[in-house]
Structure 1
Amino acid sequence: MTVSDKAAVEALEPGVIGKGRWIERWEPENTLFWEARGKSIAFRNLVFSIVAEHIGFSVWLLWSIVVVRMYGTYDDAGALVTAGANGWALTAGQGFTLLAVASGVGAFLRVPYTFAVPIFGGRNWTVISALLLLIPTLGLAWVVQHPETSFGVLVAIAATAGFGGGNFASSMANISFFYPDKEKGWALGLNAAGGNIGVAVAQKLVPLVIGIGALGLSAAGLVYVPLAVAAAILAFLFMDNLREAKADPRPTAASLQHGHTWLMAFLYIGTFGSFIGYSAAFPTLLTVVFERSDIALSWGFLGALIGSLSRPYGGKLADRVGGAIITVGAFVVMAIAGLTAVIGVQNESLGLFFASFMVLFFATGIGNGSTYRMIPSIFGRLHQAKGADTDESRLDYKRQAAGAVGIISAVGAFGGFAIPFIYKIAKEQSGTIVPALQIYVVVFLVMAALTWVFYLRKGATMRNV
């Protein structure tokens, strides 16, 4: 064997990092490789994926807390009594619109972001997506200083925050390739939780930074500019691309042919869509329903924090007992919490309302982890049903599962778009958010029933996934 031949063979050894930080072969299901080399490489990529995704989520939800400072106070006749920060005087309806648009754009971008990993490579796309966060952060820093700006322009700038929401799909699709099936639930749960917790950090950090110095509201965007650059640099230096994940988009397109992909997308609207929608709306609800902007600014972050921390445990529980049963339990708890939140609003009990939402956030986190764990299990069953157990077919279904993760995350994130708008409509038409909460309770119960029918019922082909 010549020197060049030996080099070529070594370059194909599992885990060897080549030019451009491309790993040509990756075998996480090989126990010897995983323990000797794979685990440490996967963990390194997971850590810096979490860093980038964390900054992305923070930027995505920046408006959820900035908007609280921009509301005006109006009398019963609709006349402005006092303006908010920097002379802004947004109505509750305008605030809900900003939140919905930012969430909706983030959901939409998850589709192309999913395809970006196969095209560019996971490490490369993490660098690009982190740098794209400079657009919404600098845009926010500029526009909040110009209250004369039209609402249309304000909406357009808020929409760019959706770049941060797209990061999740590419990050999850990428990390799913690094880990063996038995550890996917915990790894994906940690990756998602690290991102999700960015919502809580932003909602806690922003009120602090805008109160320091002369920058005011602009500081909310400016503080994340160096953080986005740092995330890009760290990804460039320490992450890797997997050749196994670099494929054409056909496996992702093939995943759309399975009914389970669309059913899981619907269920994910109930778990992640609820998490992101309630995270965006919760500070505004405290402000416009109970007129407690002080609590919104000081404690509005707590729900997102609880939901983020509970997510990996949903994945871990699903690894042990199956995702379906955990998902059903999460939806039932969410429905109960929604009912007690209704009672809190009707009785003007801020304490009951706040506590109900904390339980609701906890259940969304558990449900997020368990539903995501169900996806690779479902595609594993689909592969088994096909009956062609070859390396090529296993890789094809693995790629389909990764593609489905991105598509499901995109559809699910549209819950973050719908929830603020439903609150907006309920508040404007009935003067209360109670009808919106009642709708959510019914939807959660329907989702629990669907999960039981397709994934728990005796005789279901995907039972106990």
Structure 2
Amino acid sequence: MPVLPASVRTALARDHRITDWDPEDREAWDNGNAAIAKRNLIWSVICEHVGFSVWSLFSVMALFMGPEYGISLDQKFIIAATATFVGSCLRIPYTQATAIFGGRNWAIFSAIVLLIPTGLTMMLMMNPGEFGFGWFLAVAAMTGFGGGNFASSMTNINAFYPQRLKGWALGLNAGGGNIGVPVVQLIGLAVIWLFADQPEIVCAIYLVALAVAGVGAAIYMDNLDHQTSSGRAMIDCLKHKDTWLICLLYIGTFGSFIGFGFAFAQVLNISFTEAGAEKPALAAAQIAWIGPLLGSISRPYGGKLADRIGGGKVTLWCFAAMTLSASILVIAGTIADSNGAISGGTLTAFVIGFILLFLLSGISNGSVYKIIPTIWENKSKELSGLNALGKTKWSRSMSGALIGIAGAAGGLGGVGINLVLRASYQSNQSATVAFWIFMGFYVLAGVITYLFYVRRPMVISETTDLQVAAENTAASETKDGSGPADKAMA
């Protein structure tokens, strides 16, 4: 029998439960805690990355699904929307999972459970015409478990890192996960190019990747004893206006990323077919990965930029630029509709507009998520009846809860994008109406960002920007322990 390396045996044998973790203790951070947090971050990224790829699996399988599968264009959009919907809804319970089971334990489970839908997808793709639409819908729903990984992973990493580094750490964790979307599309492109009629190869690759992620999590990750996300915290979150505002903003940012991530390849496939391309699926696959890749890479830099100049400001400028990018799609779509065909110029405009939206949604994903821990960190300072440790736990619990809630809301935004595109194609045989709706939403999100996170007085510090109340209200606190920060944010 092969013998495991000594380092691996040692890693498996050590105690994977960490007690009394305090990321704000700079001395402990510099003397080993930073390395522990980094190790957990790396494997958290890997597990989330593979989860995102499985969640996005049908965005690639759709390119392989020719007439022999008996799945229509309309049904392909429904399949994508179903995967997005289930993944979004699962983010709520997944947020609680790390507190109940531990970050390491849940990372292992979340990787192993995805072996089931990946194997079933392989079965469907290897037997064209033998399984109906209902089978594809059910298996797509199961791939949604990969979307839930985001919430548990982000909640876990949020507890490992100090406030001053959360923007970068959360952005890197999320960006590393998001990049699973373009990676699975690149793998799909390689398979289309080399093995045009063998989509099961993509599934086989991810069966191996899931095994590696699960084993790596078991060896290298840890469980923190102070994971404090709870169902009560999620209910308490809903009482604050900021929760609803952040959800709306995240619908515009992550909703755009994941919605376009699922739909971009199909829109390109339709456009290339109408433009008369010889191999539209291959042409679409050659481009579809670029936008999700740029959006994934830009996310941690959005968080880092928010650490420096403020999450509200970064988010506002992103929504302004996303409005302009959507206007490119509107103009190109209007021209194509009036001409009755898609030309090379309008097709180029479509590609440019979408890629810009991916890039900007990535940056704003990072900046919006930087705002989340900042809100609760500042609110906790005004709570009465809690000592410093109690305030820290409350802040972490509320941050973890809002990460899950906002993540679910953002994912549901992706469902909306697929449904709006489907309706636009059904009623107008083009996506122009959908582009108008997207542009209008970005305008609304930009206005809200300005009114609630930019216009009012800010604190620019390690904890980035946040509204604060006037000094003459500093002594006032409500009976439930909320103070001026709650009033200013309300």
TM value normalised by structure 2: 0.85
From 280, 286, 289, the counterpart of 2:268: 286
The question of whether the paired residues in 1 share the 8 Å contact of 2:380 and 2:391 is answered with: yes
Q: Deviations over 1:184-213 (max 9, x none)?
A: 000001101110011000001123235556
Q: 1:357 maps to which residue?
A: 354
Task: Return the letter of the residue paired with 2:109.
Answer: I
1:259 Cα deviation from its structure 2 partner: 1.7
Q: Aligned partners of 1:389, 1:21: CA distance in 2, in Å?
A: 29
**Which amino acid letter does the alignment assign opposite residue 463 of structure 1?**
Q
Note the 1:125-140 alignment, pairs <5 A: 125-140=106-121
Contact 1:453 1:460 in 2 (8 A): no
Deviates more, 1:38-47 or 1:239-248: 239-248
Q: 1:96 to 1:213 in 2, by over 3 A?
A: closer
- The within-5 A match list for 1:294-373 is 294-347=282-335, 348=342, 349-373=346-370
Counterpart secondary structure, 1:245: coil
Please list the CA deviations of residues 250-281 of structure 1 after superposition, one character each: whole Å capped at 9, or x if unmatched.
Answer: 33332222221121011101000100000110
Are residues 1:98 and 2:76 paired? no
Match of 1:163 among 142, 145, 161: 145
Q: What does residue 209 of structure 1 align with?
A: 191
1:33 aligns with 2:28: yes
The equivalent of 1:12 in structure 2 is none
Structure 2 residue identity aligned to 1:455: Y
CA distance in 2, matches of 1:252, 1:158: 28
Question: Helix, strand or coil for the counterpart of 1:223?
Answer: helix
Question: What letter corresponds to residue 214 of structure 2 in structure 1?
Answer: A
Which one is further off, 398-407 or 315-324? 398-407
Letter in 1 for 2:54: V
Distance 2:301 2:242 in 1: 24
Match of 1:113 in 2: 94
Worse-matched range after superposition: 44-53 or 381-390: 381-390
**Residues in 2 aligned to 1:321 and 1:247: alpha-carbon distance in whole angstroms:** 28
1:394 partnered with 2:375: no
Whether contact under 8 Å (1:315, 1:366) holds in the other structure is yes
Matched, 1:242 2:246: no
Give CA deviations for 1:24-71 in whole Å, capped at 9, x if unaligned: 110110110010011000000000001111100111101111102214
* Match among 42, 49, 52 for residue 47 of structure 1: 42
Secondary structure of the residue aligned to 1:28 is coil
Counterpart residue type for residue 408 of structure 1: A
Distance between the aligned counterparts of 2:201 and 2:184, measured in 1? Answer: 12
Q: Do the aligned partners of 2:81 and 2:419 also contact (CA within 8 Å) in 1?
A: yes
Q: Which moved more, 1:249-258 or 1:134-143?
A: 249-258
Q: Distance in 2 between matches of 1:213 and 1:413?
A: 32
**Secondary structure of the residue that 1:457 maps to in structure 2?**
coil
In 2, distance between residues paired with 1:390 and 1:458? 27
Aligned pair partner of 2:244 in 257, 262, 283:
262
Range with greater deviation from structure 2 (396-405 or 125-134): 396-405
Q: Secondary structure at the match of 1:393?
A: helix
The 10-residue stretch of structure 1 (401-410 or 186-195) with the greater mean CA deviation from structure 2:
401-410
Cα pair 2:96 2:229 within 8 Å, conserved: no
Root-mean-square deviation (Å)? 1.9
**Greater Cα offset, 258-267 or 209-218:** 209-218
Q: 1:57 to 1:362 in 2, by over 3 A?
A: same
Equivalent residue number for residue 223 of structure 1 = 205
Distance 2:456 2:115 in 1: 51
What is the CA distance between 1:381 and its match in structure 2?
1.9
Alpha-carbon offset, residue 389 of structure 1:
5.1
Offset, 1:390? 2.2
Paired residue type of 1:419: I
Q: Scaled by the length of structure 1, what TM-score is found?
A: 0.90
Of 166, 169, 172 in structure 2, the residue corresponding to residue 184 of structure 1 is: 166
Gaps of 5+ in 2: 1-11, 274-279, 336-341, 460-465, 469-488
Counterparts of 2:191 and 2:215 in 1: how far apart (Å)? 24
Larger deviation, residues 337-346 vs 363-372: 337-346
Cα distance in 1, alignment partners of residues 13 and 248 from structure 2? 40
The match for 1:442 is 440
Indicate how the Cα distance of structure 1 residues 439 and 106 shifts in structure 2: closer, same or farther if over 3 A, else same: same
* AA matched with 1:127: I
Tell me the matched-pair count: 435
Percent identical pairs in the alignment equals: 38
Q: Point out where structure 1 has 5 or more consecutive residues left out of the alignment.
A: 1-16, 72-82
1:22 corresponding residue in structure 2: 17
Secondary structure of the equivalent of 1:244? Answer: coil
**Counterpart of 1:339 in 2: which secondary structure?**
helix
Counterpart of 1:106, as a letter, is G
